[in-house]
Structure 1
Amino acid sequence: MSNINLIIEERPASIGSFMVGRLLPFREKRMVGPFAFIDHMGPVCMSDKENMDVPPHPHIGLSTLTYLFEGSVMHRDSLGTEVEIKPGQVNWMTAGKGIVHSERTPQYLRNSDKMMHGLQIWVALPKHLEQMEPEFFHVEGKGLPEWTEQGVNIKLIAGEVFGRKSEVPVYSPLYFLELKTSSRQTIKIGKDLFGESALYILEGAVESEGNTFGPKQLLVAKDSKLCEFDMQENSTIYIFGGEPFPEGRIIYWNFVASTAERIEEAKKMWLEQSFKPVPGETDFVPLPPQSNHIKAHNPAND
């Protein structure tokens, strides 16, 4: 019997500056463990007249994780943070009760050709931490455990697993792993995983129970403990998951919350422009229309 419960294909979505491939949420699977949202950015080549410009926008009830393969992004937020993220580093921003941030091409790259490629992820906060004070952490590559096992290079980008722990300060039991191999390898890691689990193929291919899966596919496991598959040569994959929350989550625009009331409060705050602003930024993104934006996740329905 197959251990693959669901196959999700990337769907095109616009984030203003350019198109991305959306993986989560999906109509049949809103979350995987605490992971509520995943976008695959690029790869996109921007000319000297094109730049990434995501103006200031708010978040509540989640942590954002930005991980780049290529390119560079200047992050600014309402805490006063101004940090450039480069490939192999992690930007981890915890919104809690509310934060505003912008993401733009750094000034020194704005008049030259450039590449952009990476993952943007939202991790929902446990209910008791949804109203925590906002935080921001930038983790250099050396803060991410990396090792080679049976011909596979493994990097623990966030969370704790295999007796190793990333410096990214997560708030619930989870893992986000990068696996790379130049030769065909059999991967047997299920005994160390927990909660819900999914596998995203960035490049190359994965074989499982006689089936072959390729780039831009997300495979959701029925049972993380049975996670076993073959990686073809020159493949890069990401495995993520963790313990799901007992209560559901509502996603509206950039807001994630366990109650509709908290969503309504955040909407009112943004309309009244009472979120703390990003220093030096004056753009304002209007609140989107109500329709097609609220999506409830009920663990009992998964």
Structure 2
Amino acid sequence: MQSNVGLILEEKAADIGNFMVGRLLPFRQKRAVGPFLFIDHMGPACLKEHQNLDVPPHPHIGLSTLTYLFEGAIFHRDSLGNAIEIKPGEVNWMTAGKGVVHSERTPEYLRKEDKFLHGLQIWIGLPKELEQTKPSFFHIGKEEIPSWEENGVSYKLIAGKIKEKQSPVPVHSPLYFIEIKTKTAQKINIGNQLFGEVGMYVLDGTVKIEHKDYGTKQLLIAKNANLCEFETNGETTLYLFGGEAFEEERFMFWNFVNSDKEILERAKENWKAQNHEAFPKIPNDDKEYVPLPEPKFR
């Protein structure tokens, strides 16, 4: 029988500010999984009293960002005036639309002590008709995220919808982002609840799919979401994500995503010129910014 695992990708290192992350998407072999365009695995890292996360003001267009922490805290500020700390189990959901600027930093009260940081940062594409929408931001508390247990398996629907369950995260297209945890070996068949394209990221532990074991920090892309069956080999944490892919190709340059390259070019010029009508400054964090990198489509 032909395997349902279409692609196996290993996490690769990348830099965000002064912090190392593991990049999961995009890869040359796979540019997106459903509407999911970009996934960074931050940490796990122990930052000393003199080390802090500092990602200065930087812009986005044409996408939504989802930040989800396992450990630690990040203080988010944006050009809409939002200023909020995100903690483990909570969700920051920011829709950039036609343009937004934000920064991510270690909260002030943690900057002079040792701390841990561990989480995921995700970019999700917008439908073509919403790529130029007004930017918006939502913070969702951990108690608002649907969670349940079935047959020794713990589930959390961080974003999107499956069957009768729906996350309050205000997504813009059919998708899902699900956390699955087991403490003992379990067989899981969730394919009848999924749709579109599906990826699996094994955060901790291992899974067995069609008699083969896959380990920590591996991203698996399924050929058919409806055939999503696997076994966990004990204490395991994994994430399933995906949904309906867009018909149009999405182009990416740096922090910009759009189906129209001319809009990307205009965003590049606006940020390079520090056009504050296109990209307003962030209240209380406007003394520095991340400069535009050298042009390179990917």
Please state which band the TM-score falls in when normalised by the shorter chain.
over 0.9
Matching of residues 1-302 of structure 1 within 5 Å = 1-274=2-275, 275-281=279-285, 282-290=287-295, 293-295=296-298
1:280 positional shift: 1.5
Larger displacement relative to structure 2 (119-128 or 9-18): 9-18
Q: How many residues align?
A: 293
SS at match of 1:132: coil
SS at match of 1:267: helix
| Gap regions ≥5 residues in structure 2 | none
In structure 1, what residue type is equivalent to 2:284? G
Partner of 1:299: none
Taking the aligned partners of 1:162 and 1:176, their CA distance within structure 2 comes to 13
SS at match of 2:200: strand
1:162 positional shift: 2.8
SS at match of 1:177: strand
Q: Deviations over 1:122-159 (max 9, x none)?
A: 00000000010000000001111000011100000000
SS at match of 1:273: coil
In structure 2, what residue type is equivalent to 1:220? I
Taking the aligned partners of 2:22 and 2:104, their CA distance within structure 1 comes to 18
Q: Deviations over 1:165-190 (max 9, x none)?
A: 00100000000000001011001010
Q: TM-score of the superposition, structure 1-length normalised?
A: 0.96
The alignment-based identity, stated in percent, is 59
SS at match of 1:103: strand
In structure 2, what residue type is equivalent to 1:63? S
Q: Deviations over 1:192-249 (max 9, x none)?
A: 1000000000001000111100110000000000000101111000000000000000
Q: TM-score of the superposition, structure 2-length normalised?
A: 0.98
In structure 2, what residue type is equivalent to 1:287? L
Taking the aligned partners of 2:224 and 2:257, their CA distance within structure 1 comes to 26
In structure 1, what residue type is equivalent to 2:165? R
| Gap regions ≥5 residues in structure 1 | 296-302
1:17 positional shift: 1.4
